[in-house]
Structure 1
Amino acid sequence: MREPHQPPARRFFRAQTLVHYSLHFLFPAVLALVLFPAMWSGAYLILLATMLIDLDHLLATPVFDPGRCSVGYHPLHSFYAIPVYALMLLLPPPTNIIAVGVLFHLFTDTVDCLWSFRYCRECYLNARIRPVVDWVRKLLSRKQDG
């Protein structure tokens, strides 16, 4: 069994942790109010239920690796699943609400990965999302140059 990557030791409370869990649990209320005002409370519960996407972490060995970026690694966080979630946006509720939830969940996990990469270069080098991050960086650098 491989050893998990070891980013620098985490303190119990950090800004990264606050942002991560706020985006997972509090910001979905804002999304529900803005995108689904007529049914915001039900939409909020559905958005929270999309946290079940994280059950795919149970398929990994080790189950928790603090240096592993979940985006692109776990089946429900895969680059194959993302287009399916995007197509689900075109369907009526509650399917489109689920799509908003899982896509926002993946966005939140991506933010967390990028934040972690600042402290753990090895984590970045081993991340399956690395080619995507490199492509976006290259794209953004071209826009600044031109």
Structure 2
Amino acid sequence: MLGTSVHLLLHGLVPGVVARVLFQDRWKMAWLVMVATMVVDVDHLLANPIFDPDRCGIGFHPLHSGPAIVVYAVAVIVPVLRLPSVGLLIHMALDGIECLRVS
């Protein structure tokens, strides 16, 4: 329970730190866009159970797959997609760290 709570908290805090450091002139908007990428977790609705605190989502959910992560990484080079891409990569990194915890 505590691990899940910390994980969810990091999904808000880490984008905030990145926004303050990399997007100083527009950090609030950058933070909002990056936090909005949490919608990527909609793919959890395809799983049974929808939430399992002991499941590694990387490679399990379609929007958390290797090919999807490659798309997010490549999209960083497109200026209009940079913020959401950074948000998605942060999300995947945090989920990857969570996989280390549950394994």
Q: Same fold (TM over 0.5)?
A: yes
Q: Which residue number in structure 2 is paired with residue 96 of structure 1? A: 82
Letter in 1 for 2:72: Y
* Alignment deviations for residues 76-133 of structure 1 (CA, whole Å, 9 cap, x no partner): 101110110011110113x10101000100110111110111xxxxxxxxxxxxxxxx
Which of 29, 35, 38 is 2:16 aligned to? Answer: 29
5+ long unaligned stretches in structure 1: 1-11, 118-146
SS in 2 for 1:51: helix
Letter in 2 for 1:38: D
Q: Which residue number in structure 2 is paired with residue 78 of structure 1? A: 65
Q: Which residue number in structure 1 is paired with residue 46 of structure 2? A: 59
Moved over 3 A (4+): none
TM-superposed deviation, 1:23: 1.7
SS in 2 for 1:80: helix
The TM-score with structure 2 as length reference comes to 0.91
Say which one has the larger Rg: 1
* Alignment deviations for residues 12-42 of structure 1 (CA, whole Å, 9 cap, x no partner): 4x2x235312320112111101111111110
Q: Name the structure where helix makes up a greater proportion of residues.
A: 2
Aligned residues between the structures? 103
